[in-house]
Amino acid sequence: MPTNQIKPFATGSGANVLTPDIYDVLAARLTGFVAGVAQSQQLNTVWRQSSFVSAMVAQFIADNANVDVLDDGDIAGLEAKLVTALNEVSLSNERATELGIGADLATTNLLSGINLDVVTDPGEHYYDETCSGFPTGMTFGLIKIWRENTGFIYQIVQGSHNTGFAWRFYTHVTPGWMPWQIAANTTYVDNSISEATHAAQGGSDRAVASGGFNTTETVVFNPTLATLPADGFLMVTSSLNGGPGNYNFRLKTAITGTGKMTDQTMEDGQAVSMSHSMCVAVAAGATPTITISAWSDTVSQAGTVQFSYLYVPSA
C-alpha cells in the first residue's frame, strides 16, 4: 500500500482550535497576524485548515496513482503524481461508462441485431428483440458479462418485464457456450425451463392459427408442457375472432394433467368472437396439457385462434 507522509494537524478529538463560527469572524483571517502574543487556538486553526486539505490531496494521489507521496519538497514530482492520479480517475470513469455501470443501458449500451454468443467483453448491456442467442422466453432484456480469463466467460440475463432470470458460461474445454440455466423460482412465459425442454414443448408465448372452421371440432393447439419444477399456478388465455360476416363460432379450452385438480374445460359459442381466461393450481412434477379447439355451428368460416400461457411457481 502506498505511503502518504503528508499528515493533517490538530484533527484529533478535542483539538485546541477555534470553532468555525468564531474563525469566520476573526479579524486576522483577513489581515493576517500582527506583532504581539500568538494565541494557540488561532494558529492551530490556520494550520489545521491548510494541513488537512493538503493531506486529503496527498491521499488522493496515493490511492489513485498508487505511488508514495513523500515529504521531500519535490514540487515538480508531486505535480506529476497528481496528474497521474487525475488521469487514472478519468480513465476509470470512461471504463465504467463503456461497461454500462450507472448508465441507462437501452440508450448507451444497446445491442441490436447480433447473436449474444459473440458478446464476450466484460460489461453491461440492453439487448433488443432483433438479437439472437437469448434464453427461451426472454426476447429482450439486460445482460451482464464477466471474464475469468479468455477460456471462461460468464453471462447473466434479466429478461425485461420480469420474464425471467438466466445464466450460462463459455468454456474452452468443450469449447462453446453451455446451455442457459433458467431460475426455477422465476415467473416466466410458457414454462420454459431450458432450451431443450422448450424445443420439446413446441410452443411459444403466443401462438396463432387461422383457417376455415366447419361443424367438426378442430384441435388448433395441443401442447404438453415440460415437467413443472414446483407447485404453482397455470394461467391460460385463448381467443377466437372471425372475419366480417362470420358468426356462430365455438371455442373450447381444456387443461389436463395438472396433478392438483380434475380436468378443467371452458366452452363458449354462437358468437363472432370470444375469449377464455383460466387459472388452475398445478403440482410439482406435473406435465399439463393444454387443448384449444374451435368449430362452427353452421357453414365453414374463416377465423383466427390465439392463445398464451404463463406458469407461476408458488413463493
pLDDT digits (tens), the chain, 315 positions: 889 999 999 999 999 999 999 999 998 888 888 888 779 999 999 999 999 999 999 999 999 889 999 999 999 999 999 999 888 877 666 555 555 556 678 888 899 999 999 999 888 889 998 999 998 878 888 999 988 887 889 999 988 866 778 888 888 777 888 888 876 544 333 333 333 333 333 333 344 455 567 778 888 888 888 888 888 888 888 877 765 555 677 888 899 998 887 777 877 666 667 777 888 888 888 999 988 888 877 766 677 787 777 777 775
pTM of the model: 0.37
Which strands form 289-296's sheet, in the order they lie side by side? Answer: 218-221, 289-296, 249-256, 264-271
- Measured CA to CA in angstroms, residue 183 lies from 134, 139, 187, 236, 313 at distances of 14, 16, 9, 21, 11
Query: Can you read off the three cell numbers belonging to residue 52?
Result: 488537512
* Structural domains of the chain in order of their starting residue, each with its CATH number: 20-98 (no CATH), 105-183 (no CATH), 201-313 (2.60.120.260)
The helix, strand and coil proportions of the chain, stated in percent and rounded to the nearest 5, come to 25, 35, 40
Are 306 and 238 within 8 A, CB to CB?
yes
pLDDT given at position 184: 52
Residues 6+ apart with CB under 8 A from 40: 16
pLDDT of residue 132: 92
